[in-house]
Amino acid sequence: MQDYIKDTFERMNLQQTISFLLYGSDDYAEETQPYGETLKQSSDPIYRRLESIYPDGIELDKAAADLSIALTAYQHVYMELGMKAGARLIHQLLCTDDRLPLRLVRKE
């Protein structure tokens, strides 16, 4: 029994779980990078594109600000969804034991 539990924990992978919850698949990158590197690597192409479209500094700043506003909205929505998903998982863990689901009693 101990080997089964150990094997289960060894198969746990945060990136795979994220991929499954977001996309319904376990297609994920095995290697992970520090967050700063991931963000820089992912944002450099769009900023280079904006610079090629808007060589004027003022227009570039406006375009970058518009992009930032849009990305911030996505960030807020996905952060809230992530927190709700985590809370839902915690709720399931706390309200279920090995035999029967526990019922939460609402005090009035």
Give residues with Cβ within 8 angstroms of 32, minimum separation 6: 15, 38
Question: Could you tell me the pLDDT band of residue 55, with boundaries at 50, 70 and 90?
Answer: very high
Q: How far apart are CA 58 and CA 66, in angstroms?
A: 12
pLDDT at position 44 is 95
Other CB atoms within 10 Å distance of the CB of residue 82? 13
Who has greater pLDDT, 15 or 74? Answer: 74
* Average pLDDT, rounded, for the chain: 83
- Rounded CA Rg of the chain: 21
Task: Tell which residue, 17, 78, 75, has the closest CA to residue 43.
Answer: 75
Task: Tell which residue, 41, 64, 40, has the closest CA to residue 51.
Answer: 64
Q: Exposed, middle or buried, 76 (CB in 10 Å: 0-12/13-18/19+)? A: exposed
Task: Tell which residue, 101, 50, 90, has the closest CA to residue 71.
Answer: 50
pLDDT at position 98 is 61
Who has greater pLDDT, 17 or 84? Answer: 84
